[in-house]
Amino acid sequence: MLIKLANSFFLIIIIYKLIFMIKTLILIFLLSNISFANDITGKVISIADGDTLTILTSDKKQVKIRLAHIDAPEKKQDFGEKSKQNLASLCFGKNAIAKNQSKDRYKRLIAEVFCDGENANLQQVKSGLAWHYKAYSKSKIYANAELEAKKQNLGLWILKNPTPPWEFRKSKK
């Protein structure tokens, strides 16, 4: 009788542990899908500059997005227009997904944008048409992409001392 009671007790403990594990796995699954639910998808309808574009969603909402991890030359800077043109060739008129969004201090939407599956943010840096924005990004991928573009003298890196956009903006105030 005592052995049957002990076995029943252990069986109950095992059942409770299994229920807890199942609930935990369900919760993890649900939370992991939240980021997918927040992805913004649509067609790129506008390119403002080398690090800003607008996506038209399926429900006809226009969403302006600042590309995360990067800072492209301003329009009046060397390579400003080339950077914008490159982003347009990567994204304009194409299907896009904006992932990992956040908002900056100006309430702008910041995200990594994939146009037809290609990471436009990273491509801008790899092409030498944007800086890795180290003040707001610690990504080694973007840091390495910038170093490689510099080594190959791509885009703005053909200039002896290109002025980063954050310094250019400061000088214009």
Please report, for residues 1, 57, 134, 171, the alpha-carbon distance to residue 50 in angstroms, rounded to integers and kept in the order given.
78, 21, 17, 20
Please tell me which residue in 74, 105, 112, 148 is annotated as part of the active site: 74
Annotated catalytic residue 66: yes
Nearest partner of 112 among 100, 95, 104, judged by Cα: 100
Please tell me which residue in 108, 112, 118, 146 is annotated as part of the active site: 108
One-letter amino acid at 168 equals: F
Annotated catalytic residue 169: no
Tokens (6 digits) for 136: 């707001």
Please tell me which residue in 66, 105, 118, 148 is annotated as part of the active site: 66
Contacts of 121 (CB under 8 A, 6+ apart): 51, 67, 68, 69, 70, 112, 113, 130, 142
State the Cα–Cα distance between residues 44 and 7, nearest whole angstrom. Answer: 63
Annotated catalytic residue 105: no
Considering Cα of 135, then 139, then 143, then 148, what sign does the dihedral take? Answer: negative
Matching residue, tokens 């060739």? 89
- Residues annotated as catalytic (active site), given as ranges: 66, 74, 108
